[in-house]
Amino acid sequence: MRILLAAFISEGILLALSLAISFLFNYPILWNPSWRAIIVGLTLIIPPLIVNNILWRYSETNHGSIFYRFSQEVIIPLCRHITPISAIIVAILSGVCEELFFRGALNSLCTRLVGVEFALVSTSLIFAATHFIGSFKRYGAMIPLYTAMGAYLWLVHFYSGSLTAVSVCHGAYNLVVILLTRRRVLT
């Protein structure tokens, strides 16, 4: 239950920030929903899932790696205590609210103020940093990996032109990783 509460609070804050930026700066939120966007989003979870699998395999033989420590201390306990229904809720919340903020509102603001390249770099770094608020010292070495994922999601949004596509990609990726990890630790 605490996992869902934390998700509702953190994602709710991002939703509120997104709506505030959209309202204050008069940036429309363009979801551009379509079947194509959903298919693109679902298809584009494959590359990060491959990377995730490679990192899991690497960490199994490299117990000193930051990925192993982060997995053992954060990811596995989270997945062990989350139900499949809660995993779906968390995946939807993270896909919609994080993408609305990072690739929607914040990206629009950065792009218009300082350009596309800076928007890619800055929103990806901020995306990564927010995942480690309160634990920079312990898990800060994971920030490059999360920045790369933020950049990947930025590119999905940029080339698809759809918040729907990137939200589906992000949410579906989170759901698959949670369920696979849950299956891995409960069997």
Average pLDDT, integer, range 122-136: 96
**Nearest to 70, CA basis, from 82, 56, 84:** 56
Average pLDDT, integer, range 136-165: 97
What's the per-residue H, E or C state across the chain? CHHHHHHHHHHHHHHHHHHHHHHHHCCCCCCCCCHHHHHHHHHCCHHHHHHHHHHHHHHHHCCCCHHHHHHHHHHHHHHHCCCHHHHHHHHHHHHHHHHHHHHHHHHHHHHHHHCHHHHHHHHHHHHHHHCCCCCHHHHHHHHHHHHHHHHHHHHHHHHHCCHHHHHHHHHHHHHHHHHHHHHHHHC
Share of the chain above pLDDT 90, in %: 94
Task: Supply the pLDDT for residue 187.
Answer: 80
pLDDT digits (tens, 9 = 90+) for 47-68: 999 999 999 999 999 999 999 9
Judged against a pLDDT cut of 90, whether residue 143 lies above it is answered with yes
Task: Supply the pLDDT for residue 35.
Answer: 98
| Rounded-to-integer distance, Cα 15 and Cα 47, Å | 27
Q: What is the pTM of this model?
A: 0.96
The residue range of the domain holding 90 is 2-186
Judged against a pLDDT cut of 90, whether residue 167 lies above it is answered with yes
Task: Supply the pLDDT for residue 1.
Answer: 79
pLDDT digits (tens, 9 = 90+) for 55-114: 999 999 999 999 999 999 999 999 999 999 999 999 999 999 999 999 999 999 999 999
Task: Supply the pLDDT for residue 134.
Answer: 92
Total count of domains within the chain: 1
